[in-house]
Every structure is written in structure tokens, then in C-alpha cells.
Amino acid sequence: MPEIIEVEAYRRAISATEGRRIAQVHAPDEWFAKGDTTTDALRLELTGARIEEARRIGKLVILDTDGPRLGLRFGMTGKIVVDGAMPIDHLLYDSPRHEPAWDRFGLEFEGRGAMVLRDPRRLGGVQLDPDESRLGPDALSLTLGQLSQALAGSTVALKARLLDQRRVAGLGNLLVDEALWRARLSPVREARSLDPKETARLHRHIRRTLAVLGERGGSHTGDLHPGRERGGCCPRDGAPLRREQVGGRTTYWCPAHQS
């Protein structure tokens, strides 16, 4: 699944379209238009608009135009193709095949170039004027104060709180498991139970995990990752990893060193 690191790479690739005017909108799939947005509205409102800036909050990429804002979500398998090139050409759940039907949305620009959102499993989507106020602070620039605020007073499991996009935008399942494993914190603790030292440690490890995975080129190359299978062991101390559902997501953690 594209995590925040990949989505930031997508945003950078998309920024190449800044300043271009949209000549044609390819929107063949009504299901891919989210919220109140329809494929007719996408064609009507975006054709002729000029791309001003490609921004990102969490895993949402927003294209500001001189008309509406356009939100892009990539779901489990979404990728971006800009002028025929992909910033990341292999993802964990990716298929090496390509079928034209996987091109769920696209923009052709006046003069030159095109942008295509390719999504085999069709779990992403596009939306006009998405509600950005529903997203918490972005994980890549998260401050200690923002993290403290996100956890304060919450009786929800720590991992569930970190995955709640309204509290922190952009942390995904594998990334949170890796950061909590590195920070020696249990995912099932109440979010509010962290003392200031633990919160600072978590903040440090979220930042480090993002940096390390960024250097390694993706979200699925963490140190915990080899142990993420039934019967898997902790890569640090060899203890059997616990596997359970937390916040609705499959979670691996080490009861020997995470508390």
C-alpha cells in the first residue's frame, strides 16, 4: 500500500504539472468519483483549469487550480504516472501487469503531457474540493506538541489513535507497527497513558522510522517487517510476536520488549 513516503514521492512527481492548463479530463468510472463529486462535474469543472500547486496532507494529494481543488487518494494499489513515468514502479501489493481499465482517472494538458491515476484494486478515488479540515497535522512534519495533543485524554488504544487520520494524517498500519516496535511501546495501551518521556520517545521514533523508510525507498522495508507473519519472531530479541486486531487492523507486536 502506498504509505505517506510514497504519496510524497507522487506529489513531487505531480508538481511537474504546475502551471499547465488541463485540456481534457479522463473520468470513465463513476465509482472512482468520491463524495458529492460526479464524473460529469470532474470534466466540467476541471477542463480549462490551470494547475497552480500540488500539496499533500497525510495520504491526500491536493491539486490547487484556478478553479476547484482536486483531491487524489491512492488506496491500496494506486500509483501515479506523470508524462509516462512513474516515481515508484514497484509496490508491495503491486501487479506487474497493466490493463488500460486500471487507468481510473487522468488529465491531459494543453501543449504537452498527461497525468494518470492507475489503480488495479480501485480503492483510491478523486474528489473536487475535499474537506481538508477533517485531517489532523501531517505526519511528516508532526511536532511533539501536536503528537501530545493527539494522544491527550484518549482512552482509545495507542495504535488506533495514531491511525485516526483526524488526529495525525498519514500514518498507516505498517508504519505505526514499526514505530511502536522501535519505541518499545505497546499498541494496545490507552493513548492517554503515555507519560511525557514516552511521548517524546514515540515522537522521536515516528520521525526516525519515516526517515529510515524514506532512505530505503518505501514503507514496507522496516526492521519489523520480516517478522510480520503467523508464527513470526521479534527481530530484536527473538520472542514470538503477538498478532491481533487493533483499531480494526492486523497488528504485530512484541510483548517481551513493548509495554
Q: Residue 52 catalytic?
A: no
**Site for Zn ion (CB under 5 A): which residue of 82, 117, 234, 246?**
234
Part of the chain binding Zn ion (CB under 5 A), chosen from 16-24, 49-57, 59-67, 227-235:
227-235
Quick check: 9 binds Zn ion (CB under 5 A)? no
Q: Which is nearer to Zn ion, 106 or 235 (CB)?
A: 235
Nearer CB in complex with Zn ion: 82/234: 234
Instruction: Please report which helix (H) or strand (E) contains residue 151, including its range.
Output: helix 144-151
Active-site position among 3, 8, 45, 178: 3
Catalytic residue among 11, 59, 79, 182: 59
Q: How many residues bind Zn ion (CB under 5 A)?
A: 7
Minimum separation from the CB atom of position 237 to Zn ion (A): 4
Member of 236, 242, 243, 249 binding Zn ion (CB under 5 A):
236
> Could you say which of 153, 230, 237, 248 contacts Zn ion (CB under 5 A)?
237
DSSP reduced 3-state for 170: coil
Check binding of 257 to Zn ion (CB under 5 A).
yes
* All residues at 6 or more sequence positions from 117 whose CB lies less than 8 Å from its CB, including other chains: 72, 74, 78, 79, 80, 103, 104, 105, 106, 124, 126
- Sites for Zn ion among residues 11-30 (CB under 5 A): none
145 or 238, CB closer to Zn ion? 238
Q: Are the C-beta atoms of 171 and 162 separated by less than 8 Å?
A: yes
Q: Considering the candidates 2, 120, 130, 187, report the single residue annotated as catalytic.
A: 2
Known catalytic membership, residue 12: no
Do residues 136 and 169 lie in contact, with contact meaning Cβ atoms separated by under 8 Å? yes
Q: Which residues contact 212 (CB under 8 A, 6 or more apart)?
A: 222
Which three cell numbers, joined as nine digits, stand for 149?
A: 495533543
- Whether residue 34 lies in the annotated active site: no
* d(C-alpha 74, C-alpha 94), whole Å: 13
* Burial state string for 174-204 with b = 16 or more CB within 10 A and e = fewer than 16: bbbbbbbbbbebbbbbebeebeeebbebbbe
Is residue 249 part of the annotated active site? The answer reads yes
Examine residue 256 and tell whether it contacts Zn ion (CB under 5 A): yes
Residue 138 cell numbers, joined: 501531517
Active site residues: 2-3, 59, 249
- Interface contacts to Zn ion, rule CB under 5 A: 234, 236-237, 239, 254, 256-257
